[in-house]
């Protein structure tokens, strides 16, 4: 994915659409980068611009130290994205990304900023629900890798088979899991935004019951959609996921246009 010269260091837009009526900000899962969303513009309306979040420590930001706590990461992220959050937008986050997306929306509300037309959360329980899994980010190397493989089965075999590559990958994974495992939920009023929550039918970590907990986080509508696949269904069944997102974004664009009239 070629960086967009008009974007800041946090954003990668695989198909820049400066005249778009709506931006979709996509937050990565643990260890993931903006490249996970490189094909999404092909499946979404032409007046939606996909803006993928690029966190430090990966791809062209490989030389930067990844954040290991949510508060510090959120402050830096919100400051970096602020100029792009003034126009209509929606947010999507998968796993860790769902937590980041949700907390960014709450941060925007606290500071009186522009709020999204829709929040899409994927493969994660609501943030107020404690994890059932023991923390793993401080485990020794092999135990840490084994815990991730057992829970998520999301590390490609090509990386697992190359210890040198895996060692490059581990600091980002440890930092991202530290963000999740040291997170402490602070109660606030529910959001007003509609939420769509996605889960994998074969996900062994996040169940439909876990997704239902998102209903407690909003006064708006909350829809649940189950997608074929495991925890990383956004990779194995992207069409099923993006079909729902596209329909919701069309509604968001239409409602935004109605508000401006």
Residue 151 confidence (pLDDT): 85
**Joined tokens for residue 100:** 């980041």
Has residue 80 got a pLDDT over 60?
Answer: yes
One-character DSSP codes across 148-187:
HHHHH--S-HHHHT-HHHHHHHHHHHHHHHHHHHT-----
More reliable by pLDDT, 85 or 251? 85
Look at strands 11-12 and 22-27 and give their pairing.
Answer: unpaired
Tell me the pLDDT band of 260, cut-offs 50, 70 and 90: very low
Domain 11-131+184-260 in CATH: superfamily? Alpha/Beta hydrolase fold, catalytic domain (3.40.50.1820)
The Cα–Cα gap between 158 and 27 comes to: 24
Residue 258 confidence (pLDDT): 43
pLDDT in tens, 51-62: 999 999 998 898
Residue 6 confidence (pLDDT): 41
* DSSP label at residue 25: E
Contacts of 108 (CB under 8 A, 6+ apart): 78, 85, 114, 115, 116
Has residue 1 got a pLDDT over 90?
Answer: no
CB distance 219 to 244 below 8 Å: no
pLDDT in tens, 82-93: 999 999 999 999
Residue 252 confidence (pLDDT): 65
The Cα–Cα gap between 55 and 65 comes to: 10
Catalytic residues: 95
pLDDT in tens, 189-202: 999 999 999 999 99
Residue 245 confidence (pLDDT): 97
Distance of CA 198 to the CA centre of its chain: 12
Has residue 5 got a pLDDT over 60?
Answer: no
Residue 259 confidence (pLDDT): 41
The rounded mean pLDDT for the chain is: 90
CB distance 121 to 95 below 8 Å: no
Least confident of 99-113, 164-178, 232-246: 164-178
Has residue 4 got a pLDDT over 60?
Answer: no
Q: Is 238 helix (H, G, I), strand (E, B) or coil?
A: helix
How much is the pTM?
Answer: 0.91
pLDDT in tens, 132-173: 888 999 999 889 888 888 888 767 666 777 777 788 889 999
Residue 3 confidence (pLDDT): 42
Has residue 105 got a pLDDT over 50?
Answer: yes
* DSSP label at residue 23: E
Has residue 23 got a pLDDT over 60?
Answer: yes
Has residue 112 got a pLDDT over 50?
Answer: yes
The Cα–Cα gap between 231 and 118 comes to: 22
Q: How far is CA 105 from CA 75, 86, 100, 123, in A?
A: 12, 13, 9, 18
Question: What are the residue ranges spanned by the domains of the chain?
Answer: 11-131+184-260
């Amino acid at each position: 994915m070629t960086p967009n010269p008009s974007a800041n260091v946090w954003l990668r837009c695989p198909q820049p659409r400066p005249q778009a009526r709506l931006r979709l900000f996509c937050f990565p899962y643990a260890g993931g980068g903006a490249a996970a969303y490189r094909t999404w513009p092909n499946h979404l309306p032409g007046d939606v611009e996909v803006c993928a979040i690029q966190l430090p420590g990966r791809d062209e930001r490989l030389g930067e130290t990844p954040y290991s706590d949510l508060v510090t990461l959120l402050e830096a992220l919100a400051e970096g994205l602020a100029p792009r959050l003034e126009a209509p937008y929606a947010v999507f986050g998968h796993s860790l990304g769902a937590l980041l997306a949700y907390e960014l929306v709450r941060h925007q509300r606290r500071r009186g900023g522009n709020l999204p037309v829709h929040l899409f959360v994927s493969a994660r329980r609501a943030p107020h629900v404690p994890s059932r899994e023991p923390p793993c980010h401080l485990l020794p190397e092999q135990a840490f890798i084994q815990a991730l493989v057992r829970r998520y089965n999301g590390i490609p075999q090509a990386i697992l088979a190359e210890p040198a590559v895996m060692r490059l990958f581990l600091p980002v994974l440890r930092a991202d899991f530290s963000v999740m495992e040291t997170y402490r939920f602070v109660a606030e009023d529910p959001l007003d935004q509609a939420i769509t929550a996605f889960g994998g039918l074969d996900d062994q970590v996040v169940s439909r019951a876990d997704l239902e907990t998102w209903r407690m986080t909003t006064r708006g509508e909350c829809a649940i959609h189950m997608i074929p696949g495991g925890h990383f269904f956004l990779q194995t069944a992207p069409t099923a996921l993006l079909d729902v997102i596209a329909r919701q974004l069309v509604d968001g664009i239409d409602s935004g246009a109605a508000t401006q009239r």
